[in-house]
Amino acid sequence: MIENDPDRNWQKVHWISPLARTGSFLVLILTFLIYQQRELLVQLYQLLSTSDGRTFQIALWSTIGGILGVLLLFLIYSYLAWRRMGYALEGDSVHFRSGIIFRNERQIRYSRIQAVDITRPLLSRPLGLGVLDIEAAGDGDSHISIAYLKVDQLADLRTQVLTLSEGAQAAPGQAQSGQAQSGQAQAGPAQANQARIDQASIDQAQPDSEAARTLPAATLETAAPVAGIRTVTGRGLARDEQEIGFYRLPVKRLLKTIALSLTFIIALIMTIAIIVMLVLSYVIPERQLVFRGILVGLLPFWLPYLNALWKTFNTHYHFMANVGVKGLRLHQGFTKTENQTLPPGKVHGIELKQPFLWRLGGWWDLHLSVAGFSRGENTQASLGLVPLAPAATLEEIHRTLNLLVGDQPISDPEKFWHDALYGSREEPSQFEVAPAASRIFDWFSFRRNALFLNEQIVVLRTGWLNRRVGILFVEHIQGQYLAQGPWQRRRELGTIQFATVARGATARKAKNFGAEQCARWSGQILERAMGPRRTGIANLWHQKALEMEAQAPKGEH
């Protein structure tokens, strides 16, 4: 327990945490100063080397003493920062504090937690350390990073936070919650949290507990992609951490998708141009300055493409998607491994995209739309898009949609999803296509523009060169509005946009559909929104995965 703060039951992080936080900043400052003053340092060294031995020794020992003094101050500051740094699971929130001079304390309510991730940077892996990232609903910097903890501590803390999050969301609708909270108040903060964990475990995990205990054990091999639904267990996994795998990205397929991307093609063309300029600068010496000038001009444009290719490989390396009792479990990363958990009910929509060149392999990119992701590491993360199947085959797409969307009241689900991915207006389907009057506004995507709406989902099909399909859960639609421009009014067209918390949802706007269609869809959404909220499809993920595993052929387990 951290001293001099009796208000909360603060737990310490690993002692190396402040060293890692401030050490990298210190190294950056020293590197910058050495680079800026490199000429002065060289001159000073030359002056000292030509002086007498006593002067050189005084300068040498003074330098060593100064370095040791700075290092001592750094260690003292890190120790004080470590005593101040800590986390606590108290009341209805998770807390994290840090800082000595500028003190900072962050908190996230359990009911607002959207995802809990375990990340292990390359340098922390040999020490067995990692970071727990907790994402909350809301824009801006709405997340907490608890760094660093031992791997076992990370797994236990993740389970504890997820259990408390489930209990916080279930408590308002339960009659026993008031009695549990009154008992917790008498027992004190630590006992109250434990009681909440136990109660949440009973309320939320009871249906899955027996199923989780009877899951067949299987070893996670690294050679072949997943052939179907299978149970994944491993050393150190608790009962509620046993996972059922449904997607895996082979490294060979990942390399193929990178090679068939526009980014790779542009980088390849620029690489060839750079090599040609380099060769010509030696073959034609009189034009060497011109060729090298072109070479230097290409480098600032070439390097970002290389960085984008590396980031794709580094992020999606050995990507796996599993289902656990606590929700979806995503595992990925090469130099920095990430283990992400998405609790049930946090997924607001699904996005499927097929770049033009990916048609050669029949792959689709499937992302989930999740509210509240604030870490702007890339555009997709800032929009709340989480990769679930970065390069999936048609069979894997069918299996994933069957798991996520569940059993829909539609005839011939396999044909329905095939029409959503590849269909057009000429083919009969359950989709409502855009009227012929909209062709003047959408010359190329006109043949694919279509929408399907039922009591549970909205499916929007669009895209010409790059095919796109957006799926939005009706239970997460916050509202909708209709728009009609002057040119649309003349052709009796309109646009309907569905308001969602998740900014990355692709099924939000259906443009240039019939005005009658838009008005009817708006009325249907409003009618369903007035009724009681149904139990979300996402809450049945684990149960559905168990059913799919039981129905799969024995050879696919």
| Beta carbons within 8 Å of 142's beta carbon, 6+ residues apart | 108, 135, 136, 372, 374
- Distance in angstroms (rounded) separating the CA atoms of residues 154 and 145: 12
Helical residues (DSSP H) of 124-233, grouped into ranges: 151-170, 177-187, 189-213
10-residue mean pLDDT profile of the chain (557 residues): values are 60 88 74 76 72 73 83 88 89 88 87 86 87 77 85 89 75 44 41 40 35 31 38 43 86 97 96 94 88 90 95 94 88 91 83 95 93 54 78 93 83 90 90 94 93 92 93 86 92 91 68 94 83 54 71 60
pLDDT of residue 380: 55
pLDDT of residue 173: 47
pLDDT of residue 63: 79
Q: Which amino acid is at 446?
A: F
Which among 398, 312, 319, 317 is positioned nearest to 355, based on CA atoms?
312
pLDDT of residue 169: 59
Which among 173, 172, 167, 175 is positioned nearest to 195, based on CA atoms?
167
Distance of CA 182 to the CA centre of its chain: 37
pLDDT of residue 410: 83
pLDDT of residue 475: 85
Q: Tell me the per-residue pLDDT of 145-161, one tens digit each, with 9 for 90 and over.
A: 898 999 889 989 988 99
The arrangement of strands across the sheet holding 104-109 comes to 86-90, 93-98, 104-109
- Distance in angstroms (rounded) separating the CA atoms of residues 461 and 510: 9
Which among 318, 333, 319, 308 is positioned nearest to 121, based on CA atoms?
333
Q: Tell me the per-residue pLDDT of 199-239, one tens digit each, with 9 for 90 and over.
A: 333 333 333 333 332 333 332 332 233 444 444 444 334 44
pLDDT of residue 75: 87
Which letter does DSSP use for residue 444 in this model? T
pLDDT of residue 190: 39
pLDDT of residue 452: 95
Q: What is the pTM (predicted TM-score) of this model?
A: 0.74
Counting every residue written for the chain, the total comes to: 557
Give the gyration radius of the chain's Cα atoms. 28
Q: Can you give the three-state secondary structure of 275-318, one letter per residue?
A: HHHHHHHHHCHHHHHHHHHHHHHHHHHHHHHHHHHHHHHHHHCC
By DSSP bridging, strand 364-370 and strand 385-392 are antiparallel
Exposed, middle or buried by CB within 10 Å (0-12, 13-18, 19+), for 298?
middle
pLDDT of residue 279: 93
pLDDT of residue 531: 59
- Distance in angstroms (rounded) separating the CA atoms of residues 547 and 556: 14
pLDDT of residue 310: 96
